[in-house]
Amino acid sequence: MSQTDAAAMEMHSATGLPNRKILMWAFIGSECMLFGSLIIVYMVYRGKSLVGPYPADLLNIPFITVTTFVLLMSSLMMVLALSAVQRGDMKWGKIWLFMTALLGMVFLGGQVYEFSHFVHEGLTLKTNLFGGSFFLLTGTHGAHVAVGVIWLMSLVFMAQRGRLTQANAETVEIAGLYWHFVDVVWIVLFTLIYLLV
C-alpha cells in the first residue's frame, strides 16, 4: 500500500526514509518495553514458586538448543530472501521467504511439543508462578512468531501471484525487520529462561 500511499498524497519525506520502515522501527522500540516487562515478571518470579514442577525439572536444554538454532537459521533465510528480492531474483526470493516461514513453523512445532510435554508433566498456567510466567512469556513470543509466519506466507502467496516484485523490496525488508526482532527476543529468552536456570 505504500506506493499508492505516497503517490496519492504526493508525500514528502523529510528524512528521505520510507514511512513504513520508520513505523516498524518505532514499533520495535515499543516491543522492547513489552518484552522487557514480561521478562521483569519472569525474573521477579524466578524461584518464587511454592510448588513444583520447577524449571530444572522440566527444561530440556538440548531440545531447545535445536529449535533456537532453527530460529537463528530462519533469520539467515530472511536476509537471503531480502537480498534476492532486492536483486530482482524473485524465484530465489520466494524460496528463501518460504524457507524462513518453514523454519518458523518448525520452531513453533517445537514450542507446541514443549508446551504439551510440560502440561503432561503437570505444569499448567495455574500450577505455580513458574507455569504462569513461563507460558505467558514464551507464549507471547510464540504468538509473535505465528504472526510472522502468517505474514511471510502472505508474501510468498503474493510473490506466487506476481504481486511481489523488486519494487516491493521495502515490503519484504519490513517483514524482515519484524522477523529478526522476534529472533533477537528469543536469543535473550533462551539465555534467561533456559541457560540461567
Partner 1 sequence: MTQPHEHAEHAHPSNRTYILVAAILGVITAVEVGVFYLDALKPVLVPILLALSAAKFTMVVGFFMHLKFDSKLYRALFVGPLVVAIAVMMAMFLLYGVFSA
Partner 2 sequence: MAVRSESPAASASHAHEGTYAGGLLSWITTVDHKRIGVMYGVSAFFFFLVGGLEALLIRLQLGSAENTLIDPDLYNQLFTMHGTTMVFLAIMPLSAAFFNFIVPLQIGARDVAFPRLNAFSFWVFFLGALFMNASFLFGGAPDAGWFGYANLTSTQYSPGMRVDFWVIGLLVLGVSSIAAALNFIVTIINLRCEGMTLMRMPLFTWMTLITSFLLVMAFPAITVGLVLLMFDRMFGTLFFNPMAGGDVLLWQHLFWIFGHPEVYILLLPGLGIVSEVIPVFSRKPLFGYAFVVYSGILIAFLGFGVWAHHMFAVGLGPVANTVFSATTMLIAIPTGVKIFNWIATLWGGSLRLRTPLYFALGFIAMFIIGGLSGVMHASAPTDLQQTDTYFIVAHIHYVLFGGVMFALFAGMYYWFPKITGRMMSERLGKAHFWMMIISFNLTFFPQHFLGLHGMPRRTFTYESGLGFEAMNLMSTVGAMLLGASMLIFIWNVLGTLRKGAPAGDNPWEGSTLEWSIASPPPHYNFRVLPVVGGRDPLWAEDLTKAVPGDDPSTPEPHMPGPSYFPFATAVGIVVMAGGGLTLTLPVVLVGVALVLFGIYGWAFQPLEH
Residues 176 and 182: their CA atoms lie apart, in Å, by 10
Name the residue nearer to partner 1 (CB basis): 149 or 177: 177
Name the residue nearer to partner 2 (CB basis): 30 or 91: 30
Name the residue nearer to partner 1 (CB basis): 33 or 162: 33
Task: Select from 43, 46, 49, 117 the one that contacts partner 2 (CB under 8 A).
Answer: 49
Torsion over CA: 136, 142, 144, 147 (sign): negative
Residues 171 and 179: their CA atoms lie apart, in Å, by 12
Q: Does 13 bind partner 2 (CB under 8 A)?
A: yes
Q: Does the bond joining 53 to the residue before it have cis omega, within 30 degrees of 0? A: yes
Contacts with partner 2 in 88-127 (CB under 8 A)?
125-126
Question: In whole angstroms, how close is the CB of 118 to partner 1 at the nearest point?
Answer: 20
Question: In whole angstroms, how close is the CB of 29 to partner 2 at the nearest point?
Answer: 6
Residues 27 and 23: their CA atoms lie apart, in Å, by 6
